[in-house]
Structure 1
Amino acid sequence: MSSQKFSFEVLAQSGTNWTLVNTLRDKEAAIADAKARRTQGRFKAVRVVKTSFDETENIFKETEVFFEGDKRKASKHDDEDAGVACWKPDDFYSITGRDSIRRYLKESLDRWGIIPLELLHHIEHFERLEDTGTIMQGAVQRAAIAQARESGQDLRKRMLEIYNLINAAADILRKDFKKGDLKKLQGDDINGLVDALAGDSRRGYLFQCAMAIELFEIKGVRTKLNRVLSLFARCDRKEAYPFFDMLLAEFFDGMSNLSELFGQEGELGTAVLGLADIAIGKGRTDEGGGEMLPGITQLAERIADGGMNHTRDALLGRVYAALRGKKEMRAGVVDDILFNSEMLDRLRLDDGEYAGGEKLMEVLKERSERLITAFAIERLLGECENPAQRAERLLQIEPGIVGGTNKRTLAGYIKPLIGSADNEIFFVKENGNVFDRLRWLCRAEAAVVDSGFDELNRRHLCDRLDEIAVKILASEKLLARLEGKGDNFVETGLALLRFCASGLLTDGNAKRMAKQRTLVYLKKPGFLSGLMGSYDGEAAMAQGLKEFQGLLAAAKIDAS
C-alpha cells in the first residue's frame, strides 16, 4: 500500500496564467481561501489542487478538488497543439512535419515500434496505417481541428487538404517501392550505400528508404537504435551525417524509457547525466554502469565537432523533459535536490556558459520551485529533530536551488529557524556544549557566505548567527573565564589568542569582542619579552615565536 502525505494548493488565474497563492493542510480551509479570493474580484478563476507525495512510487500526484470562475466548456481537443501545418507532400519529411506525425500517431507508432521516418519511407508501414482507417481518420481530424481553430480555416476543407497531401505522398512512396530499384544496404557497407546515392537529387529521401528497409525486420527500439549507431560508427562519408542526424534525433525523441539507451534500470539521474554528456560531445562517464550502445562515442565526437545538431537538440530535449517530470533523479530528498547542481556542472561549457543556455536555466528554475514548496520542505525536514538540524538541512540543499526567486524563498525558510525567540534558547543553551554551539554557528555562517543567496539575505543570516554567538559568549561568560586562566597576563593573552584563532567565532561582533580583549593583553608592556622568557633555550623560543605568529595570522590580529 502506498504511503502518502498531502497538502492543498490554492491557485488563482489572472489573464491566462495560474499563480500559486497559498498552501494549506486542510481541504475546507483551502476552498474557503479560494472562494474569498474569487469574491474580491481580482481573479477570473480560482481552484484548489490536492498535492500528494507517494513515498512508494516517489512521485508527486495532483488532483483538482475545487474550481470556481470562468471556464468554457471543455473539449477533448482543447489541449491539442496545432503544430506547423503541412501544405505540400514534402512538408511531411521536414522536422516540424515529422514532429506532427509523432504527436498525432504516437500511440500507434509506439505500439508498432517505429518512428515517423520509417512510416514515411516504407510502404508496408504506411499501408498498415491505411488498413487501420480509424487511426488515420482520428489523427487527421485532430490535426485539422487544431489547425482550423488556430487559423480560422473551414474544418472540412482543412481535413480534405490533409487527406490529399497524404495521398500524394503515399503515391510517391508506392511508385518507388513498386519499381523495385530502391538502393539497399549491403551488409555493413554504409559507405557503399552513400556512394551509390551520390549525385541523386533525392539522395536524402532514398537514404531513409534504404534505412527503413534495413530496419523493417528488426524489433524493438533499442535494437534498431543499436543498428543505426553501429552503421553511423562505420560511416566516414560526411555528406551522410545530416541523414543520420535526422534518423538518430527521431530515435532519441521516441524512446519511452531512458534505460533503452543505457541498458539498465537504476537512478533516473544517472541516465539523464549520460544524455547530457553525449549532448555536449563528451561521451558518457563510467559512473552510470550498464552496457552503453555502440557508436555513442562517435556520436559524441560528431556533436563536439559542431555537427548532428538535431540529435543534440533531441538529447537535450529528453534531459529537459526528465527534469520537468515528477520522478526523483536521485534516491533521497537531499540528493534529488542537489542533482540540479550536478546537472549545471555537467552542462557547463569551457567558456563558462551552459549548453542549452536560458532553456536549461528555465527548466531548473521550474524544478527548484517545485522542490521548495511548503509541502516539499515539510517532507525534507520531516526527520530533523531540532532547529539546528532543520537549518543545516536547508543550507545543505542551497547549491541545488536555481534562480534568484527560489533562493530568496529558501532563505525565507531559514530565517525563522534562527530568528525566533524560542529557537534562540535552543541555539544559545541547548545545541551541545558551548564549543559545539559556537562551532555550529561558524559552520552555518560559512555555508551562508559561500551560498548563492543575494547580499541582503546573506547579510541578514550572518548577522543573526553572529548575534547568537555573542549571546553564547555572554551567557557562558566565556571571555571572562579565559581571562581568569593563566598565572600571568602573558598566559592569559595566549589563551585568548588561541580562542580567536580556533575557528569558533563568527565574523562579526563575536570575533571583534574577542580580538579587543586579546589585544588588551598583547599590547601590555612586557608581553613580548615575557613570552620570549617563557621558553627554555633558543630553539624552543624560535619555535614558540613561529607558533605565535601563526596564531596572529589565523586570528587576523595585528599586534604591532
Structure 2
Amino acid sequence: MVADRASFEVQVSKDGRWSTNTIVYKEDEARGLAKKLLADKKCEGAKIVRNWLRADGTMVESEIFCETRTVKDDGPIRISPIDSVPEVKCEKPEDFMGDSARGVVNRVFRTYLDKQFLTPTELMHSFKELKRLQEKDSLVPSAVDRVAQLQTKDGEQDAKSRSQDIFKSIDEISNRARRVESLKLPKLEGSFSEVMAKIAAMGENEDRDYLAMVVLSRDLMNVRNWVGKLERLCNLAVADNDPHALEMLDGVIADVLGSNVVQDVLGWQPGLGAAIIAMFDLAAGKMKVQKTDAGESAEVLNRLFAENKLPVSKACLLDRAHRQIRSPNPLSRSESEKEGEEFKRVLHRTMTPTGFACGADTAEALTTRYTRLVEQGGSAGRKAALESMFRILPDRAFGLIYLCDMLTTPYGTEHAAAIADLLGMVFRARVIGEFCERTLPPKERMIRATNAHHAVMASTFPPETKQKLAEHIDGILERYLIDEQIVEKLDHHDSPLRDRAVRLVQFCAAGVLPEGKAMTRARQRILALLRQPNFDAHFIDGFTDPLRAQKALRDFHQLLVKAGFG
C-alpha cells in the first residue's frame, strides 16, 4: 500500500534541459534505467525524482539521484539521410526560400541546425551563418549531391548538372545575404507587421519581405534554444492581425517545428504511438497541454492551430507524424506484443468522417507501418498489408475511400490487381447495413455512403469502374430510403405543409445523398408538394404578420436553391 503512493520519474538532460524519460514505481528499477541512460556516451545527464503522494492528496517531490557530464564532440557533423524531396525543382534562388525547400534544408541539415540552434530561415538570411555552414566539413556538397540524386532519378537531368544549378543558387543566396549584412535595419519591437511597415518606409532597393525576414532572423539568433524561439514566434503571431505578416511567421514556426522542440511541446509520452496521436491532436488544436515541457508556448501554439492560423506549420507537423508512422521504430516503447494494439489506436485517431486525416498521405503511411505487422516481406508483404488494412477498417464504405486513396500511391501502381479484387467485397455489400457500420445513426450512415461516392467520383479508377461503383452506392442509398421509408417519415401527412416542405428540402440540402436515383426520389416528393394548388398560400398559413410570412417564404426559396432547385 505504501509503495503505491510513490513513483520515480527518470529524467534525461539534453542541450541543458531536463525532460521526463519514463515513470516507474520501484526505486531499483529507476536507478537501473538511469544507469542505462548514462551508459550512452551522448547522454548529458540523468536524474531520478521521487514523487510521494500524501494522504491529503498533495504530491511531494524529492531528487534522489543526479549525474551530469560534458559530452565531447564526437567528430564531424554529417547530413541526415533523406529519401524524398518535393517533385517540383527549385529553379531560382527565391524558390529555395519557399516552404517545401526549407523543409528539405531542415531535414538534411538536422544535426547541424540542432547543434547551432538555427532555423533554415535564419541560416538563409545571415551571410555569417551561411559562410560558417559552407566551411563546416563537407556538409553542403554532401547535401547538394543527395538532393541532386533524388531529383534526377527520373532521368530528365543528370545529377552533376543539377548539382551545379543548386550551387549557383546557393552562391546567389549567399551574395544577397552579404549585401544586406551591414544594412541598418529596425529592431523587432512591437508587431511584425509594424516592422514591415518601417522597412517599406526606408525606401531600400531590396525586397521588403526579404528584409523583414532578415530582421526576424537577427532577432531569433539571439535566442539560443528551441522553446525560446517558438515562444517568441507564437507571441508575434498572436499579436499580429495582418494576414501577410502571419503567413510569413507561420513559415518560420514550421521551421522551428522541424526541430526536436516537438518533443518538448508534446511532453512525456509512453511511446511513439502516443506521440503520433498527440501530434495529430496538436495539429487540430486539441492537444492536452498538461503534459507539455514547453510551458505557455505550447498553449499558444495549440490555440493558433485551433484557429487555423498556421496552415504551413500544420502541414509540417503532420508530415513529421507521417514520417514517424512510416519509420521502423516501434509504436510501443517496451511491450512488443502491444504493437498491434497501438497501431489500432493510431489508425482510429487518423480517421475522420470523410476519410483519413490527410487522405492518401495518411493511408500510405499507415499501410507502410502495417507491412511490419505481416509475416511476408517485399512486394508480397505490401500486398498483404494493403488487403489487411482494407479488412480492419470499420466498414466497406470507409474501405472504399481507402482504396481510392491508395490508388494514387506507389501501392496503387504495384498492386492494382489486388485493389480490383477488393472492390468485389464492396460490390457484395447490397444493403446499407453491409456497406456502413450498423451502429451509426441513419443520417451518419447516409453521409458515410455519400462520402464514399464522392471519393469514387474524384478517384483515378477507370471511368467504367467509377460508374459501376457510383451506381452501386446510389442503389444502396435508394434501397435504404425505400426500406426505411425515410422520405415518407419526413413528409408525414399529420404535419403542417410548411413543416413537411422544410424538412424535405433540408434533407436534400444536407449533403446526405449524392446526385442520383436516391436524390431524385427525394426531390420528386418535394416537387409534388410544390405543385399543389396555392402552395405559397398554404405554406404561410398561420402567420398573422405579413412581414414574417414574406421572410418565411424567402428563406424557403433560398433553401430550395441550396438543395438544387434553383
Q: State TM-score, norm by structure 1.
A: 0.47
Q: State TM-score, norm by structure 2.
A: 0.47
| Structure whose CA Rg is larger | 1
